[in-house]
Structure 1
Amino acid sequence: MNRLYHVPLSPFCRKVRLVLAEKKIEVDLVEERYWEQDADFLRRNPAGKVPVLKMDGLMMSESTPICEYIEEKHPTPPLLPKSATERFETRRLVSWFDDKFHSEVTSKLLYERVNKKVTGEGYPDSKNVKAGAKAIKYHLDYMAWLLDQRRWLAGNEMTLADFAAAAHLSALDYISDVDWNRSDVVKDWYAKIKSRPAFRSVLADQIPGFLPPPHYADLDF
């Protein structure tokens, strides 16, 4: 049985979960308290990070290489375009969300509001929260600009870029940190992607001590 060691609100874990679900690959989800640096977990990934996917006799870490491995082994339905140009754009946007968006937004909002409490690291830093709340507006505007020109973020077909973005935004939406009224086109994009069957397990997540807003699992907002 495939096994994914994960944390429910981790956008990197969610990205892998979405890809596995879109490919209809069954996986056993195991919540991992990675911050405790358990010896068994460190043997699975010496870097001490999630996600870690056990599949095909391999123990794989780092979300994007995991997703691309799944894509190569299970190419249907495709999440990477055929042309080199479109693949570049997809990978560029995956990097945008997992690097820039994560650094400027996710780490400033989700990690401050939730991770610090869960891991016992203290209280949110208000300066970081304010910086994240400001930065997300820029990113939502950039997404709106992309979606004004394309059906999906990287082009006219849904790709891994959409799942990378949705993984971050869904985690932030769990704590009501996304202003969906800022852009109708972004809201429509998210409604479209979260209505996919692949999103069902993500929308069913429940984090002890943190209740999602009523619209979180509502496919029509």
Structure 2
Amino acid sequence: MLTIYSMPVAVYCAKLRIILRHKATAFEELPPPGGYGSDAYYALVPSGNLPAMIHDGFMLSDSEAIAEYLEEAFPDISMLPQSVKLRAKAREFSRSHDTRLEPAVRAIYPQVAYATRDANAVIAGGALISKHLSSLALLLSANPLDTNRLWLCDCGFAVSFAWIKAFEAALDLPINWPEIVTDYDAHLQSFHVIAEELVAYQPAMDAYLEKAKPS
């Protein structure tokens, strides 16, 4: 049995669901027992992180660690290239998302609430996200990976792009999208597991963005 502890709105939980479905791996998804941050959850997952996985009694947290575990535990549908150098490039893409783009997107969350929004922080946040999108454009311009395949490194970007577009609409977040990045976003959505996850994920995004509206 493979169990994933998650919350509906969490980016890295959505990323993990895409990976599991692409690998055709059956899983059970549960909320953290007692709620996120509860003693009951810490007893299961000492880091308290989401997502977390328990597979036949083996516990693991951190989405990237879980993704690479799933790659090795369920190798029939591979999501990492075979060569050492191409795997390193795939990890470079993953780290550019997890350590640069996603934290910049996450920094916008405190600005969602209309009543307490700081317009200058929104502008600064948009500039930082745009900077990371420009860096991603450079990576994509020299991308050696087979674009006909869905890789581990693609899955987080698909969800973060959805949030950026949602923040553009709800908060007037100023974003400069390089054309190669918008093409990449459209390409990712051509994979049915990504398109399906984004549709299923939309209600959680909409619920979170309710507070962006004037009262």
> TM (normalized to structure 1)?
0.77
- Indicate the larger mover: 60-69 or 38-47: 38-47
Identity of aligned pairs, percent?
A: 24
1:48 CA drift (Å): 1.7
Residue type at the aligned position of 2:135: Y
- Indicate the larger mover: 181-190 or 89-98: 181-190
Counterpart of 1:137 (choices 105, 130, 133) is: 130
Q: Is the 8 A contact 2:111 2:121 kept in 1?
A: no
Give the count of matched residue pairs: 201
Distance 1:17 1:173, change over 3 A: farther
1:63 CA drift (Å): 0.7
Counterpart of 1:169 (choices 161, 164, 168) is: 161
Q: Is the 8 A contact 1:2 1:27 kept in 2?
A: yes
1:201 CA drift (Å): 2.8
- State the match for 1:148 in structure 2: 141
1:7 CA drift (Å): 2.3
- Indicate the larger mover: 184-193 or 66-75: 184-193
User: For 1:55-90, what per-residue CA distance to the aligned partner results, in whole angstroms no more than 9, with x for missing partners?
Assistant: 232222111110000000112322111111111111
- State the match for 2:213 in structure 1: none
Any stretches of 5+ residues in structure 1 without a counterpart? 212-221
1:28 CA drift (Å): 2.4
User: Which structure shows the bigger proportion of residues in helix conformation?
Assistant: 2
1:174 CA drift (Å): 3.8
- State the match for 1:112 in structure 2: 110
CA RMSD in angstroms comes to 2.9
Residue type at the aligned position of 1:173: K
The whole-number CA distance in structure 1 between the counterparts of 2:40 and 2:128 is 37
Any idea what SS the aligned residue of 1:182 has? coil
The whole-number CA distance in structure 2 between the counterparts of 1:155 and 1:36 is 37
Name the larger-Rg structure: 2
Any stretches of 5+ residues in structure 2 without a counterpart? 211-215
- State the match for 2:5 in structure 1: 5
Counterpart of 1:193 (choices 188, 191, 202) is: 188
> TM (normalized to structure 2)?
0.79
1:35 CA drift (Å): 7.5
Distance 1:123 1:40, change over 3 A: farther
